[in-house]
């Protein structure tokens, strides 16, 4: 697929490695897909409140991005076990004719654990070649979600975060 994607659903930044032609978001790369989940391990008894000792866990995060000149940098970080400071994932919506940030996922102390190059994946009804899947682990995660009213004005936002190393909420 040779077309330029001007209105992607999601964008990603990894310590300034990526770029795009998306107006207002030129310092982000296009994110074709992301997979991740968080959970809280609990016992079978859910009749009362959750046990405060129950462990909060996060799966590795997998992102699918277009291969580029940054591929060796990502691979070298993985090989050396050298973390990136931060990875930011933006989910965009079209509000009032412009791209607006609906949600921001921020991951800190990001370690690359796996790289799969030269993939072909479906995206918006087309197969896209030259995609790389990057799997990461991290120590902190913050999720910010904005709410917009009908006219495209931002109404407010909600935030949650967790420090997996300290097993406590982000302050």
CATH value at residue 27: 2.30.110.20
Q: In Å, how far from its chain's centre is CA 168?
A: 21
Residue 28 lies in a domain: yes
pLDDT for the residue 163: 84
Residue span of the structural domain in which 16 resides: 10-39+54-169
pLDDT for the residue 158: 83
Residue 75 lies in a domain: yes
Burial of 122 (0-12, 13-18, 19+ CB in 10 A): exposed
The token pair that represents 157 in the structure block: 């936002």
SS3 77: helix
pLDDT for the residue 74: 97
pLDDT band at 1 (very low <50, low <70, confident <90, very high): very low
The average pLDDT across 86-114 equals 92
Contact in structure between 43 and 51 (CB atoms under 8 Å):
yes
Half-sphere exposure of 122 (CA within 13 A, CB side): 2
CA 9, CA 136: separation in Å to the nearest integer? 21
Is the confidence at residue 135, as pLDDT, over 90? yes
Residue 45 lies in a domain: no
How many CB atoms lie under 10 A from the CB of residue 93?
Answer: 14
The average pLDDT across 3-13 equals 79
List helix spans (H) across 9-118. 71-80
Task: Give residue-wise pLDDT tens across range 23-38.
Answer: 899 999 999 999 999 8
The average pLDDT across 135-139 equals 96
Distance linking the first and last C-alpha atoms of the chain? 43
pLDDT for the residue 46: 60
Number of domains in the chain: 1
pLDDT for the residue 43: 61
Q: What is the mean pLDDT of the chain?
A: 87
């Amino acid at each position: 697929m040779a077309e330029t994607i001007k209105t992607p659903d999601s964008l990603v930044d990894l310590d300034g490695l990526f770029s795009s032609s998306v107006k207002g978001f030129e310092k982000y790369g296009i994110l074709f897909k992301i997979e991740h989940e968080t959970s809280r391990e609990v016992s079978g008894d859910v009749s009362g409140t959750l046990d405060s000792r129950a462990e909060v866990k996060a799966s590795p995060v997998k992102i699918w991005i277009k291969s580029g000149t940054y591929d060796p940098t990502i691979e070298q970080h993985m090989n050396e076990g050298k973390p990136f400071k931060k990875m930011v994932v933006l989910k965009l919506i079209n509000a009032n004719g412009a791209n607006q940030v609906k949600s921001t996922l921020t991951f800190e102390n990001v370690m690359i654990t796996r790289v799969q190059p030269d993939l072909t994946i479906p995206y918006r009804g087309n197969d896209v070649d030259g995609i790389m899947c990057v799997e990461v682990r991290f120590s902190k995660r913050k999720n910010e979600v904005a709410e917009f009213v009908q006219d495209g004005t931002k109404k407010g936002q909600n935030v949650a975060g967790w420090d997996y190393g300290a097993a406590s909420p982000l302050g």
